[in-house]
Each structure stands twice: as structure tokens, then as C-alpha cells.
Amino acid sequence: MLNQISVYAENQRGTMKKITEILARENINILGSVTNDSAEYGIVRMVVSDPEKAATAFKDAGFLCKMIKVIGVEITDEAGQLDKLLSALYDSYINIDYMYLSFNRLSGKPIIILHTDDIYEVEDCIKAKGFQVSE
């Protein structure tokens, strides 16, 4: 199980720069990220090296920020591996709210970051099906 930071930010020039500047100043590494936008606001979802410190820094800078649990599933870097993971979830009637990519800095293997309704149940299911879950 991983902690993800979600930063709610205005969709305007320089906002992403402010977000990365805060992380750089605090010496926090971005391990995986996805940005979803709308006309006025966006959500920047990130797995970072120190989520608690990042959340505090973002809040201190005036950003609306939330920390939630997500699942990181390590897969091999081969064609069809993501499909195997998604098939296992589909066969277990599990819906994925969203996902994005990171990677294990030690092994070099991809890590799929997932958010689902019941992450604890889904984590148990994934482990039971033989997948490696990131801590």
C-alpha cells in the first residue's frame, strides 16, 4: 500500500512549476504522477518519496491537498503484462477508478499505481493471484 498525494490546483500558467518547486525545495522525489484537468482546475496525483512532508509543504503554500492510499503492483516489462493484471482484476469483478505508471528504482520494473473502491480487499486479491504489491 502506498500513500498518494492529490493536489488541487488552478489550471493556469506556472502552477505545475510551483508544485515541482515546492517538492524540489523540500528534497522530495516524484516517483509517479498523473495530471487530470478541467477548464479551471486540475488534480495532480503523485506518489512521492515523503508524502507526509509533501502534504504539509503543499498546505503551507496554500494548495488544497489530500493524501489517500493506493495500490502499487509491480509487473515485468514485457508485452501483455498489464493485460494480465487487468484480466485478474476483471475476473474478480474489480473496477479501477484510475491508474498510472511508476517504476521500481532498484529492479527497474514497472509499477502500476491503482485506485479502487476497497483497496484493502483488492490488495489481498492481487496478492492471492500472484502479483507483487509495493510497500
What is the pLDDT, as a whole number, of residue 14?
Answer: 87
How large is the average pLDDT for residues 128-133? Answer: 90
How large is the average pLDDT for residues 2-8? Answer: 94
* CATH code reported for the domain at 70-133: 3.30.70.260
Summarised one tens digit per residue, pLDDT across range 47-56 is 999 999 999 9
The domain limits of the chain are 2-68, 70-133
DSSP letter for each residue of 15-30: HHHHHHHHHHHTT--E
What is the pLDDT, as a whole number, of residue 118?
Answer: 86
Summarised one tens digit per residue, pLDDT across range 8-39 is 988 888 888 999 999 999 999 999 899 887 76
Q: Is 126 helix (H, G, I), strand (E, B) or coil?
A: helix
What is the pLDDT, as a whole number, of residue 47?
Answer: 94
Which of the four CATH numbers 3.40.50.1820, 3.90.1170.50, 3.40.50.720, 3.30.2130.10 does domain 2-68 have?
3.30.2130.10
SS3 string, 42-90, reads EEEEEEECCHHHHHHHHHHCCCEEEEEEEEEEECCCCCCHHHHHHHHHH
Q: Is pLDDT at 73 greater than 90 in this prediction?
A: yes
